[in-house]
Amino acid sequence: MKTLNRYIGREVFFATLLIFVALLMLFAFFDLIHELANVGRDGYPLGRALLFVGLSLPGHVYELMPTAVLIGTLFAISQLVGNSEYTVMRTSGASLTQITVAILRIGVPLAIATFLAGEFLAPPAERLAQQVRVQTEGQATRIVAQQFQSGFWFKQDLTFANIRSVLADMSLLGVRIYEFDRDLRLRILRTADSGTFVADGQWKLRNVQTTELFADGAKVTRDENLTSDTVLKPSILTVYQVAPEKLEMASLYDNIRVLGSNQQKTSRFEIALWNKIFYPAAVLVMMVLALPFAYFQRRAGGIGFRIFAGTMLGLVFFLLGRLFSYLGIINDWPPLFSAAFPVAAFVVVAGAMLWWLERR
């Protein structure tokens, strides 16, 4: 059985690797075509466009792995069926469960690799890619984050902060801080031309004007530099530069914690966090789902048809995940349900098809 496990695993792995590289090159080609339309504008050179495409690859690794695994497993098992090797395995005593376990032995490392890519490679690469896109010649101070026309608003206890815009290097422009007392009367108004983060919980403001309000008047002071304490971190602001679905779990947790403590809506971040947890499991689900489709003899459809079917299944899984994420945000569904339902639905479908296949 060990020999059979190694043989099936090797066939599935190399087929998956071939499909994965092909899909990665295809998506990189699409990204390059899109970036070529911007080359020459605002000093955006071809070299930066190529660098942007390269930095986008880790994100594609994370997104494409389940689809590549599905198509690769379909291709490998279809070859075994077409060459009658699968029939010999079954008649020699190998059960469907044993073949499924042999396939999943390869799926577990691929699922772990998917999680590591989505957590440690894709988020920093995506941030660098966005910076490369905006930090062209003469564009180093380009605005990359602006929540409203009035800027970005942040609340901490009885203090409200307004940041007009965030630059590519996460420095701030047009900072206004309003501090209220327990009776909700304005106590201090502090304005600054710019600000930079110097440590967790601290930012350094420049050209600061502080207006303190008292019952009998007001006091105005000016400081060239002033350090202010806050729970606001760069990871909170990166969500306006990078979509929550592409952030690492630590940044998502920071956003959930800060927004939740200020009674703000956190459903999008919670759904993205749960998706980070469940998405690697989709690699295993896709492998199990591929087995029934690959089992049928060639008269039921050639390899090309099976690859097409696998592509459509992968597309349906991707779109279903996005659909339930958006519906969960709009309808305030439980984040766990919105993230887990697509994976759970495909698990049920795969289990039902394997049960039907075993009874034939």
pLDDT tens string 236-252: 777 767 888 889 999 99
How many helices (H) and strands (E) in the chain? 11, 7
Beta bridge partners of 188: 179, 212
Q: Is the pLDDT of residue 187 over 60?
A: yes
CA dihedral 217, 223, 225, 226 (to 10 degrees): -20
Q: Is the pTM of this model over 0.85?
A: no
The C-alpha atoms of residue 279 and residue 261 are separated, in whole angstroms, by 27
197-214: average pLDDT: 88
Q: Is the pLDDT of residue 296 over 60?
A: no
* Average pLDDT of the chain, as a whole number: 86
Give, rounded to a whole angstrom, the gap between the first and last alpha carbons of the chain: 24
Residue 297 — very low, low, confident or very high, per pLDDT cuts 50/70/90? very low
Q: Is the pLDDT of residue 254 over 90?
A: no
The CATH classification of domain 143-241, taken from the options 1.20.1260, 3.30.70, 2.60.450, 2.115.10: 2.60.450
Q: What is the pLDDT of residues 50-86, one digit of tens each?
A: 999 999 999 999 999 999 999 999 889 888 888 888 8
128-135: average pLDDT: 78
324-351: average pLDDT: 93
In terms of residues, how long is the chain? 360
Least confident of 225-229, 320-324, 326-330: 225-229
The C-alpha atoms of residue 171 and residue 194 are separated, in whole angstroms, by 7
Task: Calculate what percentage of the chain has a pLDDT beyond 90.
Answer: 48
Best-predicted range by mean pLDDT (131-140, 189-198, 235-244, 289-298): 189-198
Question: 243 exposed, middle or buried (CB, 10 Å; 0-12, 13-18, 19+)?
Answer: exposed
Is residue 316 within 8 Å of 345, Cβ to Cβ?
no
106-127: average pLDDT: 94
Question: 357 exposed, middle or buried (CB, 10 Å; 0-12, 13-18, 19+)?
Answer: middle
The C-alpha atoms of residue 338 and residue 356 are separated, in whole angstroms, by 28
Which amino acid would we find at residue 216? D
| 169 C-beta neighbours (distance < 10 Å), count | 14
Domain boundaries, the chain: 143-241
φ, ψ for residue 164, nearest 5 deg = -65, -40
φ, ψ for residue 195, nearest 5 deg = -155, 150
